[in-house]
Amino acid sequence: MPTDHTHAPGLTSWVASAQAPGCDFPIQNLPLGIFSTPGKAPRGGVAIGDQVFDISAAMAHGLLRGAAAEAASGPSLRPLMEMGRAASAELRHNLSALLAEGAHPHPELLHPQSAVQMHLPTEPRNFSDFMASYDHCHRLGAARDPANPLPPAFHHLPVAYHSRASSVRPSGIDVRRPWGQYLKDGQIVFAPTGAMDFELELGFWIAGENAQGEPTPTSLSDQRLFGFCLLNDWSVRDIQRYEMPPLGPFLGKSFHTSVSPWVVTAEALAPFATPLPPRAAGAPPCPPHLTSHRADGLAIAMRAALQTPAMAAPHTITTAPFQNMYWSPAQMVAHHTSNGCNLLAGDLLGSGTVSGPADGAEACIAEILLRGPIALPNGESRRYLEDGDAVIFTANAQAPGATPIGFGECRGTILPAHKA
Amino acid sequence: MPTDHTHAPGLTSWVASAQAPGCDFPIQNLPLGIFSTPGKAPRGGVAIGDQVFDISAAMAHGLLRGAAAEAASGPSLRPLMEMGRAASAELRHNLSALLAEGAHPHPELLHPQSAVQMHLPTEPRNFSDFMASYDHCHRLGAARDPANPLPPAFHHLPVAYHSRASSVRPSGIDVRRPWGQYLKDGQIVFAPTGAMDFELELGFWIAGENAQGEPTPTSLSDQRLFGFCLLNDWSVRDIQRYEMPPLGPFLGKSFHTSVSPWVVTAEALAPFATPLPPRAAGAPPCPPHLTSHRADGLAIAMRAALQTPAMAAPHTITTAPFQNMYWSPAQMVAHHTSNGCNLLAGDLLGSGTVSGPADGAEACIAEILLRGPIALPNGESRRYLEDGDAVIFTANAQAPGATPIGFGECRGTILPAHKA
């Protein structure tokens, strides 16, 4: 269901690699990010095929102009996020025209993605993480308490907590195994974690700002979604379990969070909108103030792969459907602001672990372990992550009649803990 | 126990109001803040008596120079926080010399506090809130579960959660009563809260930065404490109670947090250092990595007063001793970074509700109500806060031989909820 010409069937780019089958970044995607090249400061770019199109260089050539391009050309995408969805839609329109087959090619404005360094789209000002997958909550909850598998509020609101903004890092930064306090053989120890886990999530970058005390209603909350990324909410289960009652996760999560650096805009994902799944059997209806009359779900197939130091290539251990999420990103925005909390441009929200109902759709190791250790094709097995292990997330949005688009990768490798 | 000449006995200021008995801001205090005057941008200042000493104007007059004064002269104290404790100590030394009796008086560099607007010292980059009062936790916990009144980790670490940075506001900004979901007569409703509460806390602004993955050990963590303020962690108990399991407080706290605008520096509080109270009877020892060999506690008497629209003056309803806190601010910093989480200059930490053991030392209404409604001197009574009610925090640091210093006030008035 293309919504504008930027999704027109058959549209291709003069950048040849963008036409490769299975490419994450065809011209229908045009994700924005902050990149740098040797000796030059971080600046805004667009992923196209295996290249980055340099927005500030295109402006210097007179090919792009206007406030939206200006806002996307600096060291952070926050100025564009502040301008709201109309600005990013306008920029997308102009970038699509510049990069389309038939437009004058400008290879001098391209940098190979393999030759650039990617940065955060912007330093997140606040980071809130949700827990919006029925299957994630139900699977783990049923293992603890079969009679009450879900949080009491699960059907009434998207459960969430404030997470740590300062430790969000772009894909590729190694993850130091943290120390912390936990129960081991009945004793409380302070030691490196023995339960290093990942959580496969979708992240959302926020557009615009609601004034404090002034909620963004569900009818408008989709307009607060600037764009999307993959997010690894690295979690250490032993530390987390010990510290959580009653205030929730703290040091079990705050040591590191990884995000994929390309922001797939809400405009790029428009063709992949899909209704939320039906409510669970016997569940109460969605509260009126969180009821959306749009198709707010997104048809995105998400994958987590694991590569140990002994493996020649990553092995996919999770394949999870974002369209199964119980609450939508727009509902999360509406809930988050329903008490008047001011969401800011450049805030980051996480969906929570995106698990599906099937075996193989468990989107964190804690869930996988309910069926047993991870068996890897080279004969190794894993309970939690070991030093040197890399976790790589990828994803594709898919819908009938639409060119599939991807997110690039969100990768992190575990470094050994510091010595005592 | 004065530690330097800025606390010398008998030291007074040429600003006459700073010599008034009971004044919050004698020359021994010299708290820093960001103020503005009509038509002029926010900038750094020092509270002295009932006046504000203008740092940038003093620099323009050639009375102050150097990187520390420069860092304190702009619209945010974050540059000074980034420079660390040595810089703020140097600035304090210079300000003390300028403002001391005997120095050349410069009344032209003063503005009456009544004529300036105060701002946040800096937009907090991250805000984490602790729960470090034994009496707060034990009193509320015993009411729920007498056999297990404390969180399981309470004796082993200072329990904390990430809170919301964007909604922190300076004293004096009215607080909009939030809507939210909660249980009422057995039904889940979405309605304005009926349980508006305050929490009397001390806030700490962070100096310096530890790199991600590199903890600040307890032996150094006091050097990360730039300065202190009063903090009202406004809380709505009905919404909070419903949403908390299992991820902790979210919308029940994120609508508004108030802080007093003057930052009482760690240097100003040095004479009020005091050992932490003994551990609870039968409690395990403090873990070695959180054990401090300093006197990390602070002797601060904190007060909360309530003024309803029908009252002519505020009435003190809480008097609580900060020296009773079970964990110190420096221990909180060490715990927070113990997993490698990067604390940043300009981060804000909250102590959690500062309750004491005595009747009258309950530092939030939820605790007070365990003994019954609040009886006010004009015959009114209160369970939770009503629209138009104002809550005012004040505090004084006191120690034998030291000139007492105060914090100014942290005030907020409840506005009615928006209509449906």
Per-residue burial over B119-135, b if 16 or more Cβ lie within 10 Å, else e, is: bbbbebbbbbbbbbbbb
**The pLDDT of residue B346:** 98
> Does B1 have pLDDT greater than 90?
no
The 8 Å CB, 24+ separation contacts for B186-189 are B188/A156, B188/A284, B188/A287, B188/B242
Distance CA(B16)–CA(A351), nearest Å, equals 58
Domain check: are B85 and B132 in the same one?
no
* Residue among A400, A393, A363 nearest A24 (CA): A393
Instruction: For residue A236, list chain B residues with Cβ-Cβ distance below 8 A.
Output: 339
Please give the residue range of the domain that contains residue A187: 127-415
- 3-state secondary structure string, B67-110? HHHHHCCCCCCHHHHHHCHHHHHHHHHHHHHHHEECECCCHHHE
What phi and psi values does residue A272 have, to the nearest 5 degrees? -105, 10
CA distances A87 to A26, A121, A217, A263, B405, Å, are 21, 16, 21, 15, 51
Say if residue A328 is in the same domain as residue A406. yes
State whether B268 and B170 are in the same domain: yes
Question: How do residues B340-353 score in pLDDT, each as one tens digit?
Answer: 999 999 999 999 99
A288: nearest CA in chain B? Answer: B190
Question: Do the chains contact at A166 and B249, CB–CB below 8 Å?
Answer: no
* Residue of A7, A136, A256, A335 marked active site: A136
Q: What is the mean pLDDT of residues B323-330?
A: 98
Instruction: Tell me what pLDDT residue B103 has.
Output: 97
* C-alpha dist (Å) from residue A347 to A128, A158, A163, A226, B125: 8, 17, 11, 10, 12
Q: How many residues does chain A have?
A: 420
Average pLDDT of chain A, as a whole number: 97
β-sheet bridge partners, residue B205: B227, B348
Residues 282-301 of B with CB under 8 A from A: 284, 287-289
Reported residue count of chain B is 420
pLDDT at A2: 38
- Inter-chain residue contact B338 with A251, CB threshold 8 Å: yes
Give the nearest partner residue to B239 out of A167, A250, A339, using CB atoms.
A339
- Evaluated on CA atoms A389, A254, B158, B121, the torsion sign reads positive
In a domain, A420, yes or no: no
Cβ contacts of B212 on chain A, cutoff 8 Å: 166-167, 169, 176, 255-256
- CA nearest to A298, candidates A379, A199, A230, A251: A230
| Phi–psi pair at A157, nearest 5 degrees | -160, 155
Query: What residues of chain B lie within 8 A of the CB of A128, using their CB?
Result: 250
Q: Measured between alpha carbons, how far is B337 from B209 in angstroms, rounded to an integer?
A: 10
Residue B298 has a CB neighbour count (10 Å cut-off) of: 24
**B256 touches A: beta carbon within 8 Å:** yes
- Between strands B235-236 and B264-265, the pairing is unpaired
- Cβ contacts of A151 on chain B, cutoff 8 Å: 245-247
Q: Are residues B87 and B142 in the same domain?
A: no
Q: How far apart are CA A243 and CA B338, in angstroms?
A: 13
**Average pLDDT over chain B, rounded to an integer:** 97
Q: How far is A110 from B362, CA to CA, in rounded Å?
A: 64
Q: How far is the CA of B95 from the CAs of A41, B15, B32, in angstroms? A: 39, 13, 11
B211 interaction partners in chain A (CB closer than 8 Å): none
Q: Is the pLDDT of residue B108 over 90?
A: yes
B 206-245 residues with CB below 8 A of A? 212-213, 215, 236, 239, 242-245
**Among A73, A89, A119, residue at a domain's last position:** A119
Position A1 scores a pLDDT of 34
> Given pLDDT bands bounded at 50, 70 and 90, which one contains residue B383?
very high
pLDDT digits (tens, 9 = 90+) for A46-81: 999 999 999 999 999 999 999 999 999 999 999 999
Structure token digits, residue B22: 């009971």
The pairing of strands A127-130 and A348-350 is parallel
Q: Which residues contact A394 (CB under 8 A, 6 or more apart)?
A: A24, A230, A302, A303, A305, A406, A407, A408, A409, A410
Is the residue at B420 inside a domain? no
Those of residues 309-338 in B touching chain A at CB distance below 8 A are 335-336, 338
Does any domain span residue A63?
Answer: yes
| pTM of the model as a whole | 0.97
Measured between beta carbons, the chain A residues lying within 8 angstroms of B155 are: none
Chosen domain end from B119, B136, B169:
B119
Q: How far does the CA of residue A20 sit from the closest CA of chain B (Å)?
A: 38
HSE (side-chain half, CA atoms, 13 Å) at B202: 35
**Both structure tokens of B64:** 């102050």
- Judged by a CB distance cut-off of 8 A, whether residue A346 touches chain B is no
Q: Is residue A317 included in any domain, yes or no?
A: yes
Q: What is the pLDDT of residue A389?
A: 98
Phi, psi values for residue A28, rounded to 5°:
-75, -10
Whether A401 and A262 map to the same domain: the answer is yes
* 3-class SS of residue A35: strand
Residue type, B262: W
Cα–Cα nearest to B288, from A418, A178, A188, A190: A190
- CA-CA distance, A123 to B255, in Å (whole number)? 22
Closest residue in B to A154 (Cα–Cα): B243
Residue type, position B144, single letter: R
Q: Specify whether the CB–CB gap between B46 and B32 falls below 8 A.
A: yes
Is A165 in contact with B165 (Cβ distance < 8 A)? yes
**What are the start-end ranges of the H helices in B252-349?**
266-269, 329-337
Q: Give the one of A212, A245, A341 whose C-beta lies nearest to B152's C-beta.
A: A245
Is the domain of A78 the same as that of A144?
A: no
Distance from the Cα of A76 to chain B's closest Cα (Å) equals 17
Contact B230, B410 (CB under 8 A): yes
Residue B32 — left, alpha, or beta (φ > 0 → left; ψ -120 to 50 → alpha)?
A: beta
Strand partners, B92: none
| B133 and B81 housed in the same domain | no
Percent with pLDDT over 70 in chain A = 99
The strand pairing partners of B193, in sequence order, are: none
**B158-171 as b/e: b if 16+ CB within 10 A:** bbbbbbbbbbbbbb
Q: Considering its fold, how many domains does chain A have in total? A: 2
> Per the CB < 8 Å rule, is B179 touching A339?
yes
A280 in any annotated domain: yes
Segment B65-95, tens digit of pLDDT: 999 999 999 999 999 999 999 999 999 999 9
Domain final residue, candidates A119, A149, A176 = A119
pLDDT at B420: 82
- In tens, the pLDDT along B251-293 reads 999 999 999 999 999 999 999 999 999 998 899 999 999 999 9
CA–chain centroid gap for B35, Å, is: 18
Q: Which chain B residue lies closest to A287 (C-alpha atoms)?
A: B190
Q: Which residues in A lie closer than 8 A to residue B349 (C-beta atoms)?
A: none
Q: How far is A372 from chain B (nearest CA, A)?
A: 25
Distances (CA, A) of B414 to B177, B308, B376: 6, 10, 18
In this predicted model, what pLDDT tens digit does every residue of B130-172 receive, in sequence order? 999 999 999 999 999 999 999 999 999 999 999 999 999 999 9
| Domain of residue B31, CATH code | 2.30.30.230
pLDDT at A76: 98
Which residues partner with A94 through β-bridges? none
Contact A160 B250 (CB under 8 A): yes
Contact assignment for B179 to A287 by CB distance below 8 Å? no
In this structure, the answer to whether residues B293 and B313 fall within a common structural domain is: yes
Q: Within a domain: residue A82?
A: yes
pLDDT at A9 (0 to 100):
76
Whether residue B126 and residue A340 make contact (CB cut-off 8 A), yes or no, is no
Give the Cα separation of B191 and A338 in Å (integer).
10
| A96, A88 Cβ separation under 8 angstroms | no
Per-residue pLDDT at B3 exceeds 60: no
Note whether A177 and A195 are same-domain residues: yes
Residue of A nearest to B179 (CA): A339
- Distance CA(B29)–CA(B18), nearest Å, equals 10
| pLDDT value at residue B8 | 87
Is A110 inside any structural domain? yes
The CA distances from residue B270 to A87, A160, B65, B229, B303, in Å, are 52, 39, 25, 15, 21
The answer to whether the peptide bond before residue B246 is cis (omega within 30 degrees of 0) is yes
Q: Is residue B243 part of a domain?
A: yes
Q: Do B254 and A215 touch (CB under 8 A)?
A: no
- The letter for the amino acid at B411 is R
- B35-to-B48, B111, B168 alpha-carbon distances in Å: 13, 10, 17
* Whether A242 contacts A369, CB under 8 Å: no
Cα radius of gyration rounded to whole Å, chain A:
21
> Among partner residues B180, B251, B339, which is closest to A254 by beta-carbon distance?
B339
| H/E segment holding residue B300 | strand B300-307
- A138 is annotated as an active-site residue: no
**In this structure, what token pair is assigned to residue B311?**
């009252």
CA-nearest of A164, A158, A83 to A125 is A164
Instruction: Please check whether residues A52 and A188 belong to one and the same domain.
Output: no
Averaged pLDDT in 10-residue chunks for chain A of 420 residues: 72 97 97 97 98 98 97 98 97 98 97 98 98 97 95 97 98 98 97 98 98 98 98 98 96 98 98 95 95 96 98 98 98 98 98 98 98 98 98 98 97 96
Token output for B16: 């006459």
Query: Which residues of chain B does A125 touch, with a Cβ-Cβ cutoff of 8 Å?
Result: 165-166
Average pLDDT rounded to a whole number, residues B386-414: 97
B74 and B211, same domain (yes or no) = no
Among B7, B119, B136, B155, the one annotated catalytic = B136
CA-based nearest distance A251→chain B, Å? 6
Indicate which CATH number applies to the domain containing B217: 3.90.850.10
- Integer angstrom CA distances of residue B137 from A366, B121, B325, B385: 31, 30, 11, 21
pLDDT band at residue B2, thresholds of 50, 70 and 90?
A: very low
**Co-location of B112 and B260 in the same domain:** no
